[in-house]
Structure 1
């Protein structure tokens, strides 16, 4: 680094500019490769181009120097690369000497010259002129050696420079999010945006991040869900809406959870949990089509997305796993006995509904490989879902579980403002009693519901978890810049 800093200083002292602003390309590296395919070894053209890129390989020898520059990603995730050649006969002795003394691996260079093929047949640009475009003060990581996992996520810029896997992930994520948008818009959904900063936290049971707005001198929250503002748009008359956005939950960090993640939420008027399940299945299948696979290899086995997706009521699934009947009337003492016998931990303050949810998650959900809509949850699971039309004590809500992990959720939305007020009042009392995940009473949201809202179904999809399913990566790899504990 001291040597590179000295080269930068020397360039400035000599009247040069190690970071010029006046360099222009005529072609990207990809355009050169596409425009001059199939040149024979040693073939030269009179076609002149101006290109630029980061030097990733360099071979300085005698009167002819070679370098490989890199810029941009190919559709397959590889880096776009092109060879450049510098001959003393073409650029002159002084320019060739400056190249040898000033240019290091990692520098960006600009080159103007003819398109040729080397004697080995490598497409190249024979430089007539070159300039330093940006001096790199830190050396590159070793290109043929994979970075340690911690370095990969902390120094994502270096990971992208050296790792085809990292570049592929960026392209795959972009393709998936584009496909989600195209799929929903083809189904008549309108994309909207809600606020990230909110005066109240709601839409999910989660611990929020707090901040302070100096202009109003009030505390505010980063949103934990997209739901409540999207429902206001539905009250305003929209037929189908969605948002893809970042949400923030001040909770644990592990291989499948991040405090900051990307969520899709969508709402459909005149629908319910079944119509919205069809919407989500269409989205997932469109993503599978875009990636070219309906069969996904996972650590738990092969997931086949084709065919019908199963529906599994919570109580029925738990009953089948335990070999005894579990229903909404099962006593709390019996559920605690089951938890102790199966090694499932629980809190002494949990009621029967919470016990059922936790027992199902620990004993059944983890073993669900094929796409399964886990449905008919106890009422406590989703305070914003409609109560079940035929099963007392349950709600019309489902979680989509694939390969043992929840990927999305959906429900017939609760639109009765009186019942919604009762539920949110109970939530606010729990919050006042110290529950950090309980929702607050949102009078603006309730006023919107009181204006009248059409029957509707709503869904939430963890975009990062969908990417994890198709790539087999952990959440830290799917998020370009995941939140990490500061070093030191």
Structure 2
């Protein structure tokens, strides 16, 4: 109780200081603009250029030390920290008295001369100081910072202030997303926008978020993928299109899953899944090189080599190698018995292909540490992929795995409208049997395929997971500025 009272008293002191400033005609919240002409990093990196020159800087006070008629503050600007030296005889007695009352967290403007202290620290000797904003809250203590992960994600603004590495992660995120666009733009592909609100669920197997359109009086779904719209554009005559944006899946949350996440999908006419494999490994390598200057990275203690070409392995071969079961040599009932023996889901609506996929997820994914393309998924779990011409039970599809995570999914796109209708009908039956992640019938997409989709390769990349790997971040929440959080009770 005493700690709470003490905190409340400290917060009240800050409000009292603000009131004093306002009564003295110094209300910092009335200031609209402050001219800056220099930043901490440039001053430190190019000291000879700035030495003995006057600069105007601004930032947040991160530490404060007053010694008689002089004081030091550390100012945090967009690039980092710089020390400022404030003396009574340079700014005047009245200004110095106000300066002594500033708090850690306040935002201040400083005009002064760049110099080096006796111990060699590059600093700014203030000629003028101006309080630009009063902090009414108390920042976490500097030696311990903001450690509570839940609080860090809820109060990202504080996290960015007191944990410098967090800002670097998001600067690198910006660099990576720029690199994705640069890589695809350089190939001549067109960036487009497709709807976020859909009237049906399609493009992936996932549980959607449902909302209601009041004017049309219909339920709508937040998109789980943008695949079906992008392929319509290939039908319309674009040779290559891509979109990077938010997807929404009403599913579980974990270190790899956030209900709202960023994905990139790209579709290229007259290409296949083999082409998309090369595109994928080269895209990830390009982004890694841009972000880290190397293709060999360390993720949470694991060395990863992203240098193309990556390993390729079929899903069926991986499953047979790990379990000893050749599911494709069995009937549905025989496969169900083997699946039961392996403690897999054996629901009545599942067939051989489902069991192959389930066995892969249960027994094989954990081994896929170095970059690996897993090929030829069963047709049952690939309703939008083209069948393999030599074995119609499997598709010309792949998923890319790094560090045991799926980071990309791609295939030769199904362009047979009759086959696609049959696949959708199968998905509808699965949905009616209780699979709430199964897709719905999309009559307009069938119509687009009937108009004619050329042979096409398609790829989807989980941007957040890729950024996790390239920034050595342990959780997806560490690479999303404002991750989804359960509301606090108080």
* TM more than 0.5: yes
Query: Which SS does the other structure have where 1:72 is aligned?
Result: coil
Q: How far, CA to CA, are the matches of 2:339 and 2:450 in structure 1?
A: 42
The answer (yes or no) to whether the contact 2:327–2:352 under 8 Å persists in 1 is no
C-alpha contact (below 8 Å) 1:300/1:403 kept by paired residues:
no
Pair 1:16 & 2:35 matched: no
TM-score of the two chains, using structure 1 as the length reference: 0.92
Partners of 2:447 and 2:339 in 1: how far apart? 42
Deviation digits for residues 250-288 of structure 1 (CA, Å, limit 9, x no counterpart): 001111111111111011110111011111111011122
From 16, 39, 44, the equivalent of 1:6 is: 16
Q: 1:338, 1:446 → 2: CA distance?
A: 36
| CA drift at 1:443 | 2.4
Say whether 1:27 aligns with 2:51.
no
Which residue is equivalent to 1:36?
Answer: 47
C-alpha distance after superposition, 1:31-53 (max 9, x if no partner): 433453488xxxx72x2222110
For 2:439 and 2:392, locate their aligned partners in 1 and report how far apart those are by CA, in whole Å: 24
Matched residue of 2:285: which SS? helix
1:398-436 deviations in Å (ceiling 9; x for gaps): 111222121111100011222222222332344355432
Q: Aligned pair 1:142/2:141, yes or no?
A: yes
Partner of 2:125: 126
Distance apart, 1:22 and its partner CA: 3.4
List aligned pairs for 1:368-407, cutoff 5 A.
368-407=368-407
Distance of 1:15 and 1:300 partners within structure 2: 56
Q: How far apart, in 2, do the equivalents of 1:304 and 1:436 lie?
A: 38
Q: Contact 1:357–1:377 (CA<8 Å) still a contact in 2?
A: yes
Query: How far 1:150 moved relative to its partner?
Result: 1.8
> Deviation of residue 303 (structure 1)?
2.5
Aligned equivalents of 1:249, 1:427: Cα separation in 2: 18
What is the CA–CA distance in structure 1 between the aligned matches of 2:189 and 2:54, rounded to whole Å?
48
Match of 1:54 in 2: 60
Tell me the distance in 1 between the aligned counterparts of 2:325 and 2:143: 57
Show the 5 A alignment for 1:225-264. Answer: 225-264=225-264
Aligned to 1:76: none
Deviations 1:211-230 (A, max 9, x none): 12223232211110011111
Deviation at 1:324, TM superposition (A): 4.2
Q: Which residue of 2 aligns with 1:177?
A: 177
* Structure 2 counterparts to residues 68-467 of structure 1, below 5 A: 68-73=74-79, 80-101=80-101, 103-146=102-145, 147-290=147-290, 291-298=292-299, 301-306=302-307, 308-327=309-328, 329-432=329-432, 434-467=434-467
**Residues 427-464 of structure 1: CA distance to partner in whole angstroms, max 9, x if unpaired?**
23443554321222222222222221111000111111
For 1:77, the equivalent position in structure 2 comes to none
- Deviation at residue 299 of structure 1 after TM alignment: 5.7
What CA deviation, in whole Å up to 9, does each residue of 1:218-246 have, x standing for no partner? 22111100111111111111111111111
TM-align CA RMSD: 2.0
Instruction: Name the SS of the counterpart of 1:316 in structure 2.
Output: helix
The gaps in structure 1 that reach 5 residues or longer are 74-79
